[in-house]
Amino acid sequence: MALKNLQAILEAAGSSMDRVVKANIFLANMKDFDAVNVAWDEFFPKDPKPCRTCVAVHQLPLDTDVEIEMTASYG
């Protein structure tokens, strides 16, 4: 769901998932790490994939499970 939302935001701004160069992913529970990897591979099937970090955190705002920050090129 988070990656679909980010895809929509990027497209509305005139960019795309193909232009993502970096992502920071914050997980409230590292048990979700495998699911994140599966979703990542679905949205970024080609190599090279964007670089990313994945960080375990104690809690996220609004008690969400995942927060993703992306940097993408434009134009």
Tens digits of residue pLDDT in 8-35: 999 999 999 999 999 999 999 999 999 9
* CATH code for position 42: 3.30.1330.40
Task: Yes or no: say if 27 and 36 are a contact pair by the CB < 8 Å rule.
Answer: yes
Examine the pLDDT at 75 and tell me if it is beyond 90: no
Total domains, the chain: 1
Q: What is the mean pLDDT of residues 44-68?
A: 97
Query: pTM of the full predicted structure?
Result: 0.90
Task: Yes or no: say if 72 and 21 are a contact pair by the CB < 8 Å rule.
Answer: yes
- Residue of 45, 52, 43, 50 whose CA lies nearest to 7: 43
3-state SS of 14-37 is CCCHHHEEEEEEEECCHHHHHHHH
Domain that residue 8 falls in: 2-72
Task: Yes or no: say if 30 and 75 are a contact pair by the CB < 8 Å rule.
Answer: no
Which residues are CB-contacts of 70 (< 8 A; sequence separation ≥ 6)?
6, 10, 20, 22, 23, 50
